[in-house]
Amino acid sequence: MSCLSSALSELYPPKPSFTENDLPDLSSKVYLITGGTSGIGLALAKILYSKNAKVYITSRTDASAEKAAAEIKASVTSGKGEIRYLVIDLSDLSTIAPGVKSFLAQEEVLHTVWFNAGVMNVSKGSVTQQGYELQWGTNVVAHFIMNKLLMPILLSTAQTAPKGSVRVVWVSSDGHIMLSPRGDGIDWQDIGTKKPIGWKGEKGSMTYYGQSKVGNVLLAMELAQRYGNHNIVGVSLNPGHLKTNLQRHSNPIGSTVVSWLMLHDPHLGALTELYAGFSESIGLHNNGAYIIPWGRLGRTRSDIEAGFRDRGTGKKLWDMMEEETKELLFFDD
């Protein structure tokens, strides 16, 4: 497939082949979605809840979590689903361990986590509480920490779970292909990590967004290498172009044109995430897969693939993050 036809097929994908109707009853299953208060994450939470799962969403505030929880409950007339929330602000890394700790106090299993929350096109120079470029810090660093803190419960769940059913889903974007620097997909000297090292701030906001989404793809592939032998699947995806609040930081004229031209209902993006979480077309046999809308196997850019395969970019990123975040990878008593 040429680059153009592949881009068009992600903008205007064929009908989904895997939907909520393909899911079994999810009673006794526990799932976690970051950013379940809006857009795709909210739509996914509704689907899982409607199938009787216990669904945790994360939110920056009690108020927005309660509003989302009420909407999720109202979307289903009957059933045994449960919706709970964790208050975590991904742009403040110090809130992650307490949020995960409260999850671990309530649950002994976690069947799949979707690292779905994200920000895009933030104003130049925006930073997280800890001084990371806002998109890198929120989309990548925060989820890396969550993943590390959740790994023990994922590993113990995977010991008795069916093969390939315990998954860590990293929500990327086709922006990782279109917007990131050529080479590894990441400019290692200007990645958005704490100033003054590793963040020159010379790129446009969308380039940093693209890099952050490459980060999500590399972490999924690296997770597959590290944890595949322990029955855990890492998967990344482009959910599709959806009408959500993601455009909130974009210029209003541009985002109106974009939304008129090509934005779909968020439910379709949730189906891409559903496929990544449940389809048997992916699993331990193709661990580290990249999924495209509305649930098909796709490929990342060839230089990003080569970087992972030949230059160890996944390991490089993982090791770098472990070193940078080591003080945040434990729970306070």
Provide the annotated active-site residues.
Answer: 172, 209, 213
Q: Which residue is nearest to ligand NAP (CB)?
A: 39
113 vs 147: CA distance, rounded Å: 9
Contact between 93 and ligand NAP by CB under 6 A: the answer reads no
Per-residue DSSP letter, 41: H
Q: Does 246 bind ligand NAP (CB under 6 A)?
A: yes
| CA–CA dist 125, 205 (Å, integer) | 8
Cβ distance 227 to 147 under 8 Å? no
Q: Kindly state the number of chain residues that form the binding site for ligand NAP, as judged by CB under 6 A.
A: 26
Is 180 one of the binding residues for ligand NAP (CB under 6 A)?
Answer: no
Q: In the complex, what is the shortest distance from the CB of residue 224 to ligand NAP, in angstroms, rounded to a whole number? A: 19
| Interaction between residue 116 and ligand NAP (CB under 6 A) | yes
User: How far apart are the C-alpha atoms of 57 and 41, rounded to whole Å?
Assistant: 8
State which of residues 44, 120, 276, 304 lies at the interface with ligand NAP (CB under 6 A): 120
Binding ligand NAP (rule: CB under 6 A), the pick from 99, 118, 164, 293 is 118
Applying CB under 6 A, which of residues 110, 242, 276, 291 lies at the interface with ligand NAP?
242
Which position has the token pair 């809840």? 49
| Region near ligand NAP per CB under 6 A, out of 116-124, 148-156, 184-192, 308-316 | 116-124
DSSP string, 131-150: S-BHHHIIIIIHHHHHHHHH
Q: Which stretch binds ligand NAP (CB under 6 A): 34-42, 99-107, 189-197, 294-302?
A: 34-42
Determine which residue in the list 41, 164, 234, 283 makes contact with ligand NAP, applying CB under 6 A. Answer: 41
Q: Which is nearer to ligand NAP, 52 or 244 (CB)?
A: 244
Cis peptide before 318 (omega within 30 of 0): no
- The CA distances from residue 8 to 5, 205, 211, 247, in Å, are 5, 24, 22, 20
Residues 6 or more apart whose CB falls under 8 angstroms from that of 31 comprise 48, 53, 54, 55, 56, 110, 111, 112, 113, 114, 277
Give the separation between CA 120 and CA 241, rounded to whole angstroms.
13
Shortest separation between residue 213's beta carbon and ligand NAP, angstroms: 7
Of positions 113, 119, 191, 220, contacts ligand NAP by CB under 6 A: 119
Contacts of 78 (CB under 8 A, 6+ apart): none
Residues 159-178 that bind ligand NAP (CB under 6 A): 171, 173
Q: Residue 39 Cβ, how far from ligand NAP at the closest point, in Å?
A: 2
Q: Is 88 helix (H, G, I), strand (E, B) or coil?
A: coil
Q: Per rule CB under 6 A, is residue 231 in the interface with ligand NAP?
A: no
- Contacts to ligand NAP by CB under 6 A: 35, 37-41, 60, 64, 89-91, 116-120, 138, 171, 173, 238-239, 241-242, 244-246
